Each structure stands twice: as C-alpha cells, then as structure tokens.
Amino acid sequence: MSDDVLALLRAQLGVEEVPAAGVEVPADRLLALAGELKRLGFDFFVYCAAAHYPAAGEAPDRVLVEYRVRRLPVEDLALRVWVPTGSSTPSLTSVWAGADWQEREQYDLVGVVFSGHPDLRRIMLPEDWEGHPLRRDYAIDTRHHPWR
C-alpha cells in the first residue's frame, strides 16, 4: 500500500498496515473515508458484496459489506463494514456512481439497507418477493411462484 493511503488510514482509523482481507471501517466513518480516497485518485469502484452472519456465541446477527476501490496504476483497497441486522450503512453512490446498482443488488439479495441511496429498491427479484434469498436464515425450501 502506498504511503499516502497508509497515512490517510493511520489518521482516520489508526491503522498501521492494511490486512490482505481489507481494512475494517466503522459505518459512521465510511462516507468521509470514501471521499478522501476519491480525492487521492481512487476513481474506480470495483465491487460491493455482502455476506450474512447469523448470531453465534456472543457475536450478534450482522452483515459484512465489503467494497473494493481502485486507482491506477493498479492499487486496490478493500473497505469492510460490519452492519448489525436492523441497522444501515451509508451509501457510497454520492462518491462513486458505480455503487448504485451493486448496492441495490445487496439490498435485494442480502437485505442490507444503504442510507442515502437515491433509489433503494429491488433490482433482481419482483417487488412482492418476501425475504432476501442470500441470507443464511432464508428457508431454502421456500416455494415461490414462477416469474420472468
């Protein structure tokens, strides 16, 4: 990781080195950090993905949202945000327009709510679909009417 990015992460999050899996960011700091990364030349939004983690032991029911951004020559950075079920995380559409449909996909399939998203609605499944099929608590044998 380059010195300017490490200096930013050190100042914003107290991070001394970036783990291979990416840096964990509190949801309340995500939007400000994204803006600073964009200012440093991270102009490419690569992806947004989410995974549901049901409550286990002392860990609460939550979702991990991961963003990957890039600047050229190729330097990638993964930002990871833990979102407790029932809470939201800020949308990054105001920083990277490419986050729009990918955040909608994660909302549709995993149930992540992105606050400040300009059009947060289902993108892959019909509006009357119940639940979010990529959550681990979604019943796999749920019957659904055929659709196209």
Separation CA 46–CA 44 (nearest Å):
6
Alpha helices by DSSP H, listed for the chain, are: 3-13, 27-39, 99-110
The topology (CATH level 3) of 3-115 is Beta Polymerase; domain 2 (3.30.460)
Separation CA 130–CA 47 (nearest Å):
25
Mean pLDDT in residue range 126-148: 78
User: Could you state, in order of their start, the residue ranges of all structural domains in the chain?
Assistant: 3-115
Instruction: State residue 84 phi and psi, 5-degree precision.
Output: -60, 145
**Which pLDDT tens digit goes with each residue over 63-100?**
999 999 999 999 999 999 999 998 999 999 999 999 99
Contacts of 61 (CB under 8 A, 6+ apart): 53, 54, 55, 84, 85
- Residue 139, pLDDT > 80, answer no
Q: What is the reported pTM?
A: 0.90
- Taking every pair of Cα atoms in the chain, the longest distance, rounded to a whole number of angstroms, is 54
Report the SS3 class of residue 85: coil
* Residue that wins the pLDDT comparison between 33 and 140: 33
Order of strands, sheet of 23-24, starting from the edge strand that comes earlier in the sequence: 23-24, 75-84, 62-71, 44-53
* Residues making up the chain, counted from first to last: 148
**Which pLDDT tens digit goes with each residue over 91-118?**
999 999 999 999 999 999 999 999 999 9
Separation CA 128–CA 85 (nearest Å):
21
What are the distances in angstroms from CA 128 to CA 85, 99, 124, 132, 144? 21, 24, 12, 12, 11
The pLDDT of residue 146 is 66
